[in-house]
Structure 1
Amino acid sequence: MNAIYKRYWLLLPAILLLVIQLACKKTDGYNEVISTDKTKPSPVTNIKVTNFSGGAYISYSLPDSKNLLYVQAEYKINDTRSRQSKTSFYSDTIMVSGFAKSQDYEVTLYTVTRADVKSDPVTVKVHPDTPAYLLAKPTVVLTNDFGGVNISVQNKAHADIGVILIAPDKSTRKLEIVNQHYTNQEAISYSLRGYDTIPTQFGVYITDSWDNRSDTVYATIKPLYEVQMDKSKFQPYTLPSDVGTDFQWYLPYLWDNKTGAPGFHTPYGNFLPKWMSFDMGQAARLSRYTIWYRGVEGSAAYLWGAGAPQTWVLWGRADQPVDENMPDTTGLPPVGQPTANGWINMGVFHLPAKPSGLPFPQYTGDDLAYWNGGFNFNFALTVPKVRYLRFECVTNASGTNDFFNIMEISLYGDTR
């Protein structure tokens, strides 16, 4: 070994020991008091309050002290829960939030130094405007739906709220939580199904991020009758303007009770909108449907991409179909109303967004589970009975808009 390298090799243990000692010394420094000045700071002055829904902004003048670190607010948001807010000395405003009602609340303010010394308290009253969860509560509407109940709520503040549904437990018959729906959407509407067609009492209350809870809205609901349409009766009903198929992915694969390949696939180069038609074999007042798209096959992932329909229109009719070129999403008749040749607009539908928001082809495990579970869509209660359906794809998820594919579809409704 070269003499110079040998010398460095012998010094290496000492160098490592020095590095370790320095690292330990730096770590110990985090536990030291950042100031030894124990002088009590002066409190804030010139306090002003600006209330908002569920909270308030409190502005103030800071004392002239280089030792000041932050301002702290302590307050109760309801009868049982207290909160604490902090803001640095760089700001002259602190926000307090989470209040349960629109009423007077006391907030105690302190200035705090780098030596963790508090000033004398200063108490200020705030009177927040009505919090978002209480604004949402009067908008709760419970209506009967196929196989269950529909819940609609208006959340104009786009606040984070929880819509909590209660119903009788099948064993105890006591009202228990059966569904919790958390969202910040403005227009909330969803259905809970699996109930018999007998009058059932349901209740809904609204919560917020601080566990505040509204009173409960009750309603006795008689769910509408619903069954899954018998796929053994489905068959193609191809009309002259219908799009063709390719790759031996034929229309009947849409109802073979398999969500994997093959499915239905149009040829490439057929620029959208394009449509295909089929016969359910019996008329029904349709309530909803579930649709599955091409997912992960080998090393390829088609989630939120490729030929997955992005926007589509469903058409239906009870009488024998007459062919026509279907309008796209412009110039449609109202939902439940027919075109000139009798195709009834059953609704315009859109592919739900990817939960993670990642760009194609990236996805998470939650994204994949959401995709593989199929997407559920409701029909308006105003649509009449139909037997024949026409699926019109207007755009696809990849944006090429020259083909589309679907793996499986299940439909539900009242066949009586």
Structure 2
Amino acid sequence: MKRKLIQSAWIIVWSLIVTVFSCEEEIGPTPLENNTTPPGEVENVSVENLPGKVRLEYTLPDDDDLLYIVARYTLENGTEMEVKASYYQNSMLLEGFKGLSQREVSIYAVNRSETESAPVTVTVDPLEAPIFDIYRSIETSPDFGGMRIKAENSTEEDIALLVMQKNLQGDWEPLSTSIYTSASEIAQSLRGFDTIPQDFALVVRDRWLNVTDTLFTQIKPLYEVLMPREQMNPLTLPNDAELIASHTEVRDLFNGGTLEWYDSFFTSRTIDVGPHLVTWDIGKMTKLSRLHIWQFSEPIGGQRLYYYLGAMKSFRIWGANELNNGDLSGWTLMGEYEITKPSGLPYGQEDNNDLVAAQDGADYEISIEKPAVRYLRIECLENWAGGEYMAVSEVQVYGNPNL
């Protein structure tokens, strides 16, 4: 009986201890040291004003306990910024400025106990942010089913080129097809619009939410049509690739079968013959807008693989109005393309994203600056197996034969 009483007493005591400690306020991470003496200040601060940025150089304080330098400033749009640099550096880059206005920057030295020095305040005067040069370079022009946009982004900034139209309430709102890029040369078409005059508004925004003025433009999209496959005819030039005997013919490129293997086009798996070529006549001279291509689907182990074996990974489209012996010097390069697998999975592995993308096919745009042509060639540079033979399910040709 006594033993049970003692055990009960210990249980009560232990419960009280756990209760007391659990009621204590939780304390977050704290510095391992407790040095409350502020470090010295940075000295000899120099300022280099750059487009939308500022580079600071300084002399570090002579303090063995120094951990880092921090600069704090506020952007023109009210965003508070903080940039840190380790004690191994004597410079830092401050970003996000809209530019053309003076801002104050406070610089602190911080020790290992997170104790800060007194601030050193400098005035900076950053140059105009790169978005304004991009904005001034914008050119818009009609394109098939929409608008062509060109702009220069020489410093390869991460920007959004927002394209807007008015909603039912009469307010401008960005389109889902707005452009998000860091490319140095912006050249993109927005399509899917009716061929009547369309009003657009464009602004450039950077990742700190600085925005330019608004460019207003009216564009009348060009008409495009799917070229009738019934008017297309197969051709064979001397350097066209050999086909797989009894399995395929050039007409299988445009016979209307988009996903079945028996409706697909194959070239022979001959090695060391160079890139494989196929040629056909689209029926009449046409100003091309795009080719819509479906990848060949390889049936493997009860599933379909679309980024596999002879399915094209990189290719070129060529055009001409007169036939020759196949020498490509007599043909116009209409475009060069690289196909990417949405999932990024290794070769032989594909997920539902790959399946959906492949079953929808993809557009391969042709610049409106290219000439109208009647004859087309596809040149397979590399397939997914690393070879040069090709396997294509279907090709549709879009353009305007009246331009």
Say yes or no: TM over 0.5: yes
What residue is the counterpart of 2:294 in the other structure? Answer: 292
What residue is the counterpart of 1:50 in the other structure? Answer: 48
Aligned-residue offset at 1:415: 3.7
Q: What is the SS of the residue equivalent to 1:407?
A: strand
Amino acid at match of 1:405: A
* 1:351 paired residue among 329, 338, 343: 338
Amino acid at match of 2:164: I
Alignment of 1:24-173 (within 5 A): 31-169=29-167, 171-173=168-170
Distance 1:162 1:69, change over 3 A: same
What residue is the counterpart of 1:412 in the other structure? Answer: 398
Amino acid at match of 2:296: R
Alignment of 1:236-251 (within 5 A): 236-238=234-236, 242-246=240-244, 248-251=247-250
Cα contact 1:304–1:354 (8 A) shared by 2: no
Q: Deviations over 1:210-230 (max 9, x none)?
A: 111111222111111112223
Distance 1:368 1:125 in 2: 56
TM-score scaled by structure 1? 0.78
Distance 2:351 2:125 in 1: 43
Distance 1:157 1:316 in 2: 37
Q: What is the SS of the residue equivalent to 1:136?
A: helix
Amino acid at match of 1:407: S
Distance 1:189 1:59 in 2: 38
The range that moved more, 256-265 or 210-219, is: 256-265
Residue 312 (structure 2) pairs with residue 308 (structure 1): yes
Q: Deviations over 1:272-320 (max 9, x none)?
A: 3443233334553222222232356435846276451523232243xxx
Amino acid at match of 1:410: Q
Aligned-residue offset at 1:253: 3.1
* 1:201 paired residue among 184, 199, 202: 199
Distance 1:132 1:397, change over 3 A: farther
What residue is the counterpart of 1:326 in the other structure? Answer: 327
Q: Deviations over 1:339-378 (max 9, x none)?
A: 3xxxx52514222455677764566766665555534233
Residue 284 (structure 2) pairs with residue 276 (structure 1): no
Distance 1:57 1:188, change over 3 A: same
Q: CA RMSD in A?
A: 3.0
Across the two proteins, how many residue pairs are aligned to each other?
370
Distance 1:346 1:225, change over 3 A: farther
Amino acid at match of 2:86: S
Residue 261 (structure 2) pairs with residue 261 (structure 1): yes
- Structure 2: stretches of 5+ with no match in the other structure: 1-25
Q: Deviations over 1:175-218 (max 9, x none)?
A: 32113221111111111111122211112211111111111222
Distance 1:413 1:172, change over 3 A: farther
Distance 2:65 2:373 in 1: 76
Distance 1:267 1:106, change over 3 A: same
What residue is the counterpart of 2:220 in the other structure? Answer: 222
- Structure 1: stretches of 5+ with no match in the other structure: 1-27, 333-338
Distance 1:219 1:148 in 2: 13
* 2:174 paired residue among 177, 192, 205: 177
Distance 2:55 2:338 in 1: 40
Distance 1:202 1:366 in 2: 32
Distance 1:190 1:240, change over 3 A: same
